[in-house]
Each structure stands twice: as structure tokens, then as C-alpha cells.
Structure 1
Amino acid sequence: MNSNDWLHGFRHSSPYINAHRGRTVVLTIPGDAIADRNFINIIHDIALLSSLGVRLVVAFGARPQIQSRLDSAGFESSFARNLRVTPESVLPLVMEAIGGLRAHLESQLSMGLVNSPMHNARIRVSSGNYVTARPVGVLDGIDYGYTGRVRRVDVAGIEKLLELGHIVLLPPMGYSPTGDAFNLSYEDVGSQVAAALQAEKLIVFIDDQGLLEEDGSLIRELSARQASERLASGAVTGHDADLLRAACDACVKGVRRAHIISYLKDGALLEEMFTRDGSGTLVSGDHYEQIRQARVEDIGGILELIQPLEEQGILVRRSREMLETEIDRFVVAERDGTIVGCASLHLYPDEGAGELSCFAVDPSYRRSGRGDEILAMVEKLARGQGLGKLFVLTTQTEHWFRERGFQPTSVQSLPGPKLASYNAQRNSKVFCKPL
């Protein structure tokens, strides 16, 4: 990193710092992550998020720790439907393993050594009986014993702690009104708590970069619907399916976004929280990226997007004042609060034509369909206005438009008002597409 890289990154993270301050984020951390050597870096990142005003709930798992404790005591474990069967005889050992891990996490979050990232952090960690559970019962003839599922979350109790600035630590344990304790899956706890709190984000840690395609490439984004389709088709199996199902379920119940990231990669949590594209797989229940009509507050983003193209002579220069008067003609592609594409539609109703202009896509998002989505939106708007054709003037992107059904035509075919303002010095080519 050169001397200015940190400055550039810090400045560009400020919108995300402001956006996350005061918001609730639920982290689900498996026992394997806690045992990994990179976990100390995750602890440091949790401390940083807390210092930035993020309201944090940490739901942790303990499967390898429970397994180790049972092995040392000479007990065998059995699993069904990816859940550990917990007979009454092993419940004390399960509680012992979970309790020890909880104490370990509290100690890690209490570190404050000089010259360490957590110096003077003074983090307060709270835990308790905030999850009411019910038994899984008997499924397919198998009695799951004291294995349970989340029944209810004490939202008011957790919210009070978050308002005091505490990190809320939730073990994979739940309690019933009858006084019983149940062994829960941490992903169920994380998903249900995130939904009950209407959290801004659910962060799910796994040992891969995120969810992967069959060829090993990272799946960057999935809507809740797409995630459900993958689960139904069997494209995602095993524990990954449990995690994706938890993320999908949380989004369906109101959590805006779930992020599946690696606990092996140093800084994955911060990268996911404070950069535009993140580091893992995003599952969204809303329009994380959307094509919509532009608003006045989008003008700054549009100007920033089109300025490089104006300087290259690709687009005609537009002042802020001009954009303010024409903003109702624009559509924009918005990604996580940033304008990454735009276009305007100018109507010539007497000629039954519309002009597509000021068409721009951020270079980082070209060749991924954004331009086609913006064009489709403009065409839909033009049809809605009863227009029969759409034309565009271009000096650089002739082939892109021709591949999408635009045909070359003469300058003289332009609507009268547009022909009168045609700039012969730019020598733009004219293409037209019937709607």
C-alpha cells in the first residue's frame, strides 16, 4: 500500500460508516471460525464496528467444541437432517462446551492491550436467556431429544442492551418456560434473531469465499427468490444449504441483506461492510440494485458518472442547471446508494419518437447487463408514452446499439426540433429502433 492508498480507502468508506451507524447487524459465527487462527482478526474487526456505532448481535456456534467434549467423555454423536441429536445424557456436556466457548468469546472481546487494535475499546458484552426454544421432537422416527428450534426472541430485552452500546452474545442455546435447555443450530438463532430485530444485515461466516458455482467461481449476488430456487433445485447442498436457507429466510422476513463471507480471509467483514462490491455472496430481500426514475438528489451522482465521458467528447456537456431542469427525463441504475448508470428520454410526441441520450454506465459495471437493463427501462417508458420509435445519436457506440436492434438512418430523418439543433461538428451517427 502506498502512502495515499489508505487515505483514498478511508475517504471512500465514509458513506458506509454513516450508513451503518446506529444500525443493527447480526453476525453468525461457526465454532470452526472461533477455532481458526484468523479469528483474532475477526474479533478486532468486531471491536472496530462497535466503535463506529454499529449495533452488534453475535450468534455463535459450537459444533467442533461440542464434538471434542463428547469425544473426550466417550460419547458418540449422531446427526440427522444436519442437526445433532441431543439425548438427555449428553446435554450437560453440550452445555459445558457452549458455556466454555461463551466465556472464551467474552475474554477475547475484553482485550485491551497497548499497541493492539482493541486498546481502550472498553467493549461491554452481554448475554442471557433471550431466546425461547421448543424441541424439534420426533422426525422420521428419530427422537432429537434436547435439540431445539427458536420459538421466540426477546426483542425488547436485546434492544435495551443495544441501546446501551453492548454487544449481545447469543449462544446456540434456548430455554423453555418449563425450565428446559435446548441445543440449537447457530444459523437458526442468527436468522431468527435478525428477522425479529428487523436487522439491517445478517452476516454469515463460512470457510469459502462465499457461495460458489459448480466451476468454483463466486456467486456475487442472489435475490431471496433466486436463492430459494437454488435450494429447491438441489444446486446447493449440505451445510451451505442450511446457511443459504437461513439467509434467505431472514431476508423474506424483513432483513434487508444477508452476506455470506469467509472467516478465513483477513478483513472480509470490513470489506463486505465498507466497500461497494464486498467480498462474498449477497442475498437481498429488496432491490439492492435497481433501475428507477431519477430524483433531484441523484444529480450529483449523474454528474460524477458522466463527467469523464464529457471530457473524452463521448457525451455532450451538461451543466448542473440543465440536469435540474431535465431530471424528470432521466432513469438511473442505483447500486447500494451509488449511481452506476443513467440515460435520458426526450419526447417528440408530434413525430411519435423519443431520443435516448446521456447514456452512461460506470466502467466497473459494463459487460454485466446494466446497459441492457437501462435501455429496457427507457423503451418501456417510451412505449408508455405511446411512442413508436426510439432514436439515438452516437459517435462511439455504434455496434452496441446495432446489436440491440437499432438501425442506421439519415440525419434528415430526425424530428424537426432535433434536426434544427444537430451539431454537424460532432458528426454523430443516427440510429433508430421501432418499438
Structure 2
Amino acid sequence: MSIETETYSALDAPEYAPAQFVRWFRDVAPYVHTMRGKTFVVGFGGDLVQEERLNALIQDLSLLTALGVRLVLVFGSLPQVNEQLRLKGYDFQFDTGMEPTSAIALECCKEAAGELRLDIEAAFSQGLPNTPMSNAQIHVISGNFVTAQPIGVIDGIDYKHTGKVRKFDITSIHKAISLGAVVLLGPIGFSPTGEAFNIAMEELATHAAIALKADKLVFLNQSTVLRDDNGHIITEIARAEAEKILKEKSIDPHFANLLKHTVKAVRCGVKRAHIIPHNLDGSLLLEYFTHDGIGTMVVEDTLDDLRPATMDDIGAILSLIEPLEADGTLVPRGRHIIERDVEKFTVLEHDGIIYGCVSLIPYTNEQMAEMACLIVHPDWQSAGEGELLLKHTESKARTMGIKKLFVLTTRTSHWFMNRGFIQGTLDDLPKEKQINYNRSRNSLIFIKNL
């Protein structure tokens, strides 16, 4: 497990031909259709503003609002607060993690939050012709949406003006975002007695996403990428596995803090929680509009329903396969084939019912593997279970050192194309598979680089 820092810019990207642009625009259409009316909570730290990346982010956020996303934006101000403290001659500096906030530090927090709020509102107010903000006309609404309370004394330490979320004015927030406005939440909350408290951006964004039952919580991280032991970016991780990493792995404290909050959000009902690098230009768009994304997405551990198949599962696997063999979608295998290869199968099981399966057949000499029998019972289709099986198979293949995953299909080519597979030829297959290829079926070949 490692975290790496990389820097990217859209300015380095090559020019695209018109046909490539049209294909890309059509490829993102399914994502556009699914996002209208969804609620996103997006959190970022003051470092993003410090690195002069605010305008690019606002342009991407304005695009999401134009596509119907209901947006709540949460900002932090740690580097700006530290700069205020330095300018005023104080030695104290805030770091990652919970720390006491003195009365003097609170004034610096107020100043920094107010300045950033105005900068964000100004960025949303841009509208120059020939820019992404032209004709945007986005209204930003901020105010006393957050009721805070003091953290108090913990282990003998008085945290003074450091606070935590008590509740949100959910009705007002829903009303604002339903009208197409962006709700802006800063790192200052107020108690019923009128006191102000310094609240961590991560805490605020996480509680907002939970209270709003948001579809997505997105943290824009300074510059880190989570990778597995083989160096691959972990683009999706089950909540249970993320909790295990937090307990067992030594990772960057800042990233660990974000991961802890994404885990909490998903555990409390947020459908998806993302950590993406803000130093990649357009990272928010790349995370949403590309199949694999460019950051780490935490999901509820539905992977608990996934397990290796056993001999006791053969009857259930056959019941899934037989209707597709009968209509010609799958090549007939027979019970003896399933019994022989049962250890290559993974099944989806819920409450004792097996409702999906997939097999992974490795060709280790060529570092390739075939994904076969990817089936979800009709009653469970359209709920993302096929996607779950695909992601699991890709992850399993990577752990085996597989570099390319291929499928043979006669009916579902578009499904695989939409998930990053590219059409190949018979010559692209492992030699053993070329020999055993059933030419009478004329199956199409699709390959995905892992």
C-alpha cells in the first residue's frame, strides 16, 4: 500500500480529432443521464485555493450544476489561518488533526473563512464570453446553516473554540439546492448562544453528506493517490476493506483522515464517497465521466455478498447458465465442465440465494485471463450487480499479475465497450485460446488493459 504524488495538466493533453470528440461526447451521455437531480457534497481545503486551482474547480462545478447536479460546496482554510497567525506574530500553527482553537486563533479562522467565501463567490460570478463560465449565472447561498457545539474537554485538554456539528438547517439547504443554487458551507459554525466555533472541513462535509442523504461525497485531496502493493491505483474499495487499511497500514496522515471520513459517510448511508487529487486538471470531471475514474471511491461493502464458489453451488450456477445456453448467448458447457472449473467461479449470494456468477480463467504465460459466465439473475439486473462482478474480477486478475482481461461475447458487446474494453482479434488471444476458439459462434473479442 502506498501513496504517490503526481502532477498533471490538461494543457499537456494532445489535440483530439473531431471523430474522437464525438465518440467521447457520446460515451459520457450515460453519466449525464444519471446525474440530474443527484446531490453532491464536495469538500476541499484551503491549499487548493493557495495553489491557484480555484477557478478551474469552479468551472467544472458550474458544468455539473448545468447538468442538473444539486451541489453543496464545503471549504477549509487551514493554510490561510496559519498565514494569518504568522502575519500577526504568533508561533502556533494548525496541523492535520483536531487541535484546540484559542480566542486569537478563532479570529484568524473568521478572517480566513470570510476571505475564502468571497473568493469562491467571485469565482462563481465570472461570465466572460468564450470561457466555461459564460452564461452560467449560478447563485451561491451561504449563511448560518450549521449549528455547532464545542468539543469540550477531552483527556484533560480543553479544545476551547474547536467545535463539531450539532445539526444542519436541512430544510433551507434543500430549498436552496432545489432552486439550482450552490450552497456554500465554511469551516465556522454557530451555537444557539451566538458563539462561533472552528469546524474541520472533513467533519463538516461528512456530516452534511449524511444529513442530506447525498448521492456522493467528494474530497479533493492535495496530491496523493492510493495504490495497492502492485502499484495500481485503488479506484474502488469496499468500506470494510478501507477500515482494514486504516487499522493495519501506515499511510499518509492527511489521506488517512480523509479515508476515515469517507468510511463514516458510506457507513451512514452515503452511496459513494471519493478522494481525488486536485492537482490533476479536471479531476472532478475525470472521476465522474470516466469508467474507472482517477481517485479512490469508497462504497458500502456489498462485496460481502461475493465469495468463491464451492461444489455445493454447482446446481445454482447451472440454473443461471442454462437459460443463456438455451438462447445461444452462452456456449453450452455441461455440468462436468462446471464441476471441473468450479474453483475459477465467484458467486453473488444474498440470504442464501445465489443470484450472480462469473469465472476467471488465467493464461499466466501471456499474463492474460478470460472473464466468462458473467451472469446476474434477471430479477437483480439494473442494480449494478454486473458492475460489481466486473470490478471484483478485475481486482482478482490484478492480484494474479494479469495485465489483460478478455471476453468473448455475441450479445453484450456494448456493455463491455462502455466499461473500457476494446475490440480485438483472434490473434490477440493467448495461443491456447486461439486453438480452442469456436469459429462457428463467431464471438466478438474484447480486451481491457489492467
| Equivalent-residue separation in structure 1 for 2:133 and 2:290 (angstroms) | 22
The whole-number CA distance in structure 1 between the counterparts of 2:251 and 2:228 is: 9
In 1: Cα distance, 2:300 partner to 2:36 partner: 21
Matched, 1:146 2:173: no
1:226 correspondence with 2:241: yes
The 1:103/1:235 distance shift into structure 2, 3 A limit, reads same
Secondary structure, counterpart of 1:83 in structure 2: coil
How far residue 51 of structure 1 moved from its aligned partner, in angstroms, is 0.6
* Contact 1:332/1:341 (8 A) holds in 2: no
Q: Which has the larger radius of gyration?
A: 1
Preserved CA contact (<8 Å) 2:142 2:184: yes
Scaled by the length of structure 1, the TM-score of the pair is 0.68
Tell me the SS of whatever aligns to 2:206: helix
Aligned to 2:98: 83
What's the secondary structure of 2:119's corresponding residue?
Answer: helix
Q: Which amino acid is 1:369 matched to?
A: K
Q: Which residue does 1:134 correspond to in 2?
A: 149
Read off the aligned partner of 2:24 and give its amino acid letter. G
Amino acid of the structure 2 residue aligned with 1:212: R
Q: State the 1:41 CA deviation.
A: 1.4
The SS at the match of 1:4 is: helix
Match of 1:99 among 86, 111, 114: 114
Q: Distance in 2 between matches of 1:169 and 1:425?
A: 61
What is the identity, as a one-letter code, of the residue corresponding to 1:129? N
- What is the letter of the counterpart of residue 136 of structure 2? A
Question: What is the CA–CA distance in structure 2 between the aligned matches of 1:344 and 1:172, rounded to whole Å?
Answer: 47
Match of 1:278 in 2: 293
Equivalent residue in structure 2 for 1:122, among 137, 144, 147: 137
Range 127-136 or range 229-238, more displaced:
229-238
> Aligned partners of 1:174 and 1:135: how far apart in 2?
10
Query: Deviations along 1:17-41, whole A, 9 cap, x unmatched?
Result: 1111100000001110122233321
Q: C-alpha distance in 1, partners of 2:100/2:75?
A: 19
Specify which structure has the bigger relative contact order, considering alpha-carbon pairs within 8 angstroms and separated by 6 or more residues. Answer: 2
Question: Which residue number corresponds to residue 64 of structure 1?
Answer: 79
Shift of 1:211: 2.4
Give 2:193's aligned residue: 178
1:369 Cα deviation after fit: 3.1
Task: Give 1:140 deviation, angstroms.
Answer: 3.0
Q: Alignment partner for residue 164 of structure 1, among 161, 165, 179? A: 179
Identity score, percent = 37
- The superposition leaves residues 176-222 of structure 1 with CA deviations (integer Å, 9 ceiling, x where unpaired) of 11111101100100100001001000011112353234675422221
> How far apart in 2 are the matches of 1:91 and 1:363?
49
One-letter amino acid of the structure 1 residue matched with residue 179 of structure 2: L
Q: Identify which range, 115-124 or 87-96, moves more after superposition.
A: 87-96
Partner Cα distance (1:285, 1:315) in 2: 34
Instruction: Give the one of 369, 372, 377 matched to 2:396.
Output: 369
The residue that corresponds to 1:243 in the other structure is 258
Alignment map for 1:23-42 (pairs within 5 Å): 23-42=38-57
Q: Residue 175 of structure 1 contacts residue 182 of structure 1 at CA under 8 Å; is this kept in 2?
A: yes
CA distance in 2, matches of 1:7, 1:91: 51
- Give the corresponding residue for 2:210: 195
> Quick one: structure 1 residues 2 and 182, their matched pair in 2 at CA, closer, same or farther if it must change by over 3 Å?
same
Residue 18 of structure 2 aligns to a residue whose secondary structure is coil
Distance 1:20 1:45, change over 3 A: same
Partner of 1:429: none
Give the partner amino acid of 1:194.
Answer: A
Q: Report the TM-score, using the length of structure 2 for normalisation.
A: 0.66
Which amino acid counterpart does residue 164 of structure 2 have in structure 1? R
When residues 116 and 43 of structure 1 are mapped into structure 2, their CA distance, relative to the original with a 3 A threshold, is: same
- Measured at CA, do residues 276 and 343 of structure 1 come closer, stay the same or move farther in structure 2, by a change above 3 Å? closer
State the SS of the aligned residue for 2:164: strand
**Structure 2 CA distance for partners of 1:76 and 1:139, relative to 1, 3 Å:** farther
Aligned pair count?
Answer: 335
Given the alignment, which residue of 221, 224, 229 partners 1:206? 221
Counterpart CA distance in 2 for 1:244 and 1:160 is: 30
Contact kept, 8 Å, 1:38 with 1:265, in 2: the verdict is: no
Match of 2:22 in 1: 7
Q: CA deviation at 1:5?
A: 1.4
C-alpha separation in 1, matches of 2:17 and 2:389: 25
**1:247-271 per-position Cα deviation (integer Å, ceiling 9, x unaligned):** 1100001000011101000111001
| Cα distance, 1:192–1:425 mapped onto 2, change above 3 Å | closer
- Kept in 2: contact 1:44–1:117 (CA 8 A): yes
Cross-structure match for 1:387: none
Structure 1 residue 91 displacement after superposition: 1.6
User: CA, structure 1 residues 341+178, in 2 after alignment: closer, same or farther (shift >3 Å)?
Assistant: farther
Query: Which whole-Å CA distance do the structure 2 matches of 1:209 and 1:237 have between them?
Result: 9
Q: Which amino acid aligns with 2:56?
A: N
1:190 and 1:149 map into 2 onto residues whose CA distance is 11
Q: Secondary structure at the residue paired with 1:22? A: coil
Structure 1 position 55, deviation (Å): 0.3
CA separation of 1:371/1:81 partners in 2, compared to 1, >3 Å: closer, same or farther? closer
2:124 pairs with 1:109: yes
